[in-house]
Amino acid sequence: MNEPAEDDDIDCRAASRLLSAAQDAPLPPDDERRLVLHLGICSMCRHVQGQLGVLRDAVRQIGKS
């Protein structure tokens, strides 16, 4: 099994950038791995991930009633 390399460690600032980027295009595999590792240990960034999904659903409903 491969130990995670040191540069796989990202902070919340970097994770939040990747969460936003992932809404627009598939992430490169390295970034995807770093993000998944970070989300595994950070509930705050998991909250933000869910919130970006809510935001997207909400905006798509604007004008529909």
- 3-state DSSP helix/strand/coil % of the chain, to nearest 5: 70, 0, 30
Contacting other proteins (CB under 8 A), which of 13, 26, 29, 40? 13
Question: In this structure, what are the phi and psi dihedrals at residue 2, rounded to the nearest 5 degrees?
Answer: -85, 130
Question: Is residue 20 a contact residue for other proteins (CB under 8 A)?
Answer: yes
Q: Does residue 3 bind other proteins (CB under 8 A)?
A: no
Residue 56 binds other proteins (CB under 8 A): yes
Q: Which long-range contacts (CB under 8 A, 24 or more apart) does 23-30 make?
A: 23/52, 23/56
Binding site for other proteins (CB under 8 A): 11-14, 16-17, 20-21, 23-25, 44-45, 47-48, 50-52, 54-65
